[in-house]
Each structure stands twice: as C-alpha cells, then as structure tokens.
Structure 1
Amino acid sequence: MYISIILWFILGVRGRVKWYSDRVSLKSPSPVQCNEVISNINNNHKVIELEDSSTNSTVSLLSSTKLHALNLRRLEIWSTPLTNDCIQYLCMLLTNNKTIQELEISFHSISDRGVTNICQALERNSTLTSLDLYCNPLITSTSGQALSHLLLNNSSLVKLNLMKTSLSTESILFILQSIMDNKKVRRLRLDKRHKETCINTYPNYHLIQDRVDWL
C-alpha cells in the first residue's frame, strides 16, 4: 500500500487505464500511463477512449507516431480541452492513419480554432465516416464556414453531430446547403432551436429533411 502511495506521488499516477479485448479506456491518465498505453497497444485494440485528460497526458498519447500505423477504428475524446499542440498532433494522426472511421470530441473539449484545423485535415480524408462534436459550446459561428467547406470537400463523411454547440442559425443554413450538395452525408444532428427558422427559410429543405435530426 505504501509503495503504491509513493509511486502515486513520484510518477503522478492519478487516473486509471482499463484494457479490453478490442479497446483501451483512459480516464484522467498521467503522462506515464499514456506512455504505457503506447507501449502496450496493438492492432487488436480498435478503439481509444480518452476522458478528463490533462494537456501533457493528451500530448503524450496523441504525439506517438505508433498510432499512425495502428488499425484503429474509433477515437473518443471527452471532457478534455484540446490545446493547439493537442490539435496539431490530432490532425497529424487523422492525416496519417488510414483506418480511423469514427471521431468523437465531446463535452467541452474543442473550440473554433480546433474545429477549423480538424476540418482542414479532414477535407482530403477518405476514411472517416462519422464526426461527433456533441456538447462543445465554444464551437460558434466562426466554425460555420470550416464545417461547410468540410462537407463540400470530404467524400467519406456520412454522419455529423453538431448538437449542443453555439453555432448560429445562419451557420446551420450554410451547413444544410452543403449537405444538399453532398449526398454522401446521410445523418446530420442539430439543435432543435434552429428547426423552425431553417424549415421556413431554406427553400430546398424538403429535399434533405430525411437526413436531418432535430434533437
């Protein structure tokens, strides 16, 4: 017990890492724990879940080039404010890894600058099919143009969740126009507060209504 306490102080081990047959889950991990995950993760682990992580720990995880070659399918980041360095490494991962199909960044984890950079990285990505940005109130209308461009230029995205953000109704209208042009997108989730204005304002709404969820 005393040895564990000493290690806790020396190594800064405060979080937990859980290993499953097909994924690894990290909650409040230390940089040491993140480095251990990088050492032990293999192609059997299709999903990485990262929750409540510090900047140093997030950088320790995302900066590893080992992730670029892994057969990952899904990356989930929750309650982890992503700094510019974190976003830079995440964009490199999205550019180099050719197997990630689903990306979730939710619960106060990303702001406009991060969204803009990720959208640029994904414009030429042909692997990602689902992008979930749920519950990020720091995503504002500043991100609207980047999201619209992403939808116009990306050829693989099928699902996009923009619920619980601070996007304006005007930005949502531009995004609706983008999925009108991009038939690949089959499911767009938006806040219900925009619904009435969008339905009454966007003349082609009836052509895309089956692809939009207002929640």
Structure 2
Amino acid sequence: TLTTLNLEGNYILADGVQYLAQMLQNNSTLTMLNLERNQICAKGAQYLASVLKKNRTLTILDLGWNYISDTGVHYLAYELQKNTTIKILKFGSNKISANGAQYLAQASEIQTLITFDLRENQIGSIGAQYLAHALQHNTTLITLDLRSNGIGTEGAQYLASAFPNNMVK
C-alpha cells in the first residue's frame, strides 16, 4: 500500500497534477505527497485544492518551488481550512506576497498543523501581520519558517506579539 509519493523535480506541470488529483480523490492510504520543483503553477494548485476537500489521509504536503503565486494559494487555503489531517505544509519559494499570506493565515489556524514553511517568498511586514494574527489562534504549530521574506523590523514586531500565545519554535 502506497503511503509516500515523492515526485520532486519531475516537471509535472499543472496537467500532470490534474491526473494525480484524480487518483488522489479516492486514495485512502497516501500520507505524504512531495511535488516540490514541478512548476505546477496556480492551475495545478487548483487541482490539488479539489483533493484536499475530500482526502483525509495526507499529513505532509510539500509544494515548494512551484510558482503557485497568490492565486494558487487562494485555491489551496480555502480547502486547507477544512482539512483536519495536514501536519506539515511547505510553500517555500512560490512567489507568495502579503495577499497570499493573508489566505494562508487562515490555513495556519488549522489545529493539526505543526510545521509551516513559507521561506523565500515576498510576504513582507504586512504578510507577517496576517500570520501573527493567525498564530494567536493556533496552539499546535511548532515550526514556522519565514526565511528570506522581507519581513523587516515591523514584521518582527507583529510576530513577536503572537508568540506569547503560541509555542512556535
């Protein structure tokens, strides 16, 4: 029984994700899906969002380096809010701005999420503010990776205000 599917660096694109999404609709064993570095873009994210609506076995989802952008994050964040199994969520280097961070902030309130990777995006201080607000409502998050996001002093202040309410390491 397949529990881990690592397809990193395979140039799958959105069309390939569409096929995978069809397979995942009824899959009840896959717990880890790594689609890092596949250029799935926003359209591929939209296909995955339809899976997250129904799949209740995925605990690790890695979508780093895929050009997902704010548009793709919008599709995913909406469905992630309803997901109760995702524990590790990786969105590193996806051209996500403060707008995308606002969408993802809602997803970061998921009470099963323990690791949230948003490194190397462009969320800035405003995006940090959105995330900080969400962190006040999340008691399970242990690791938050915001490397290279242009957060600055103001963003650090927002995040620091959230930490007394959260156990982020």
Q: What range describes the TM-score normalised by the shorter chain of this pair?
A: 0.7 to 0.9
Percent of pairs with identical residues:
17
Does residue 102 (structure 1) correspond to residue 37 (structure 2)? The answer is no
Residues 84 and 112, structure 2, Cα contact 8 Å, conserved in 1: yes
Equivalent residue number for residue 156 of structure 1: 112
Ranges of 4+ aligned residues in structure 1 off by more than 4 Å: none
Larger Rg belongs to: 1
Matches within 5 A, 1:75-154: 75-83=33-41, 85-136=43-94, 138-152=95-109, 154=110
2:68 alignment partner AA: I
Task: Tell me, in whole angstroms, the C-alpha distance in 1 between the residues paired with 2:142 and 2:58.
Answer: 19
AA of the residue aligned to 1:60: Y
In 2, Cα distance between equivalents of 1:151 and 1:200: 19
Relative contact order (alpha carbons < 8 A, sep ≥ 6): 1 or 2 greater? 2
Deviations 1:132-186 (A, max 9, x none): 01122x211221221122223x222121011001112111122012112211222
Distance 1:201 1:100, change over 3 A: closer
Within-5 A mapping of 1:1-215: 43=1, 45-50=2-7, 51=9, 52-64=11-23, 68-83=26-41, 85-136=43-94, 138-152=95-109, 154-191=110-147, 193-194=150-151, 196-200=153-157, 204-205=161-162, 207=164, 211-212=168-169
Is the CA contact (8 Å cut-off) linking 1:77 and 1:109 kept in structure 2?
Answer: no
Q: CA deviation at 1:194?
A: 2.4
Task: Give the unaligned 5+ runs of structure 1.
Answer: 1-42
Cα contact 2:14–2:40 (8 A) shared by 1:
yes
Note the aligned Cα RMSD (angstroms): 2.4
Q: Which has a greater percent of strand?
A: 1
Unaligned runs of 5+ in 2: none
CA distance in 1, matches of 2:16, 2:157: 46
Contact 1:78 1:109 in 2 (8 A): no
Contact 1:62 1:86 in 2 (8 A): no
Secondary structure at the aligned position of 2:23 is classed as coil
Q: Secondary structure at the match of 2:35?
A: strand
CA contact (8 A) 2:42 2:67 kept: no
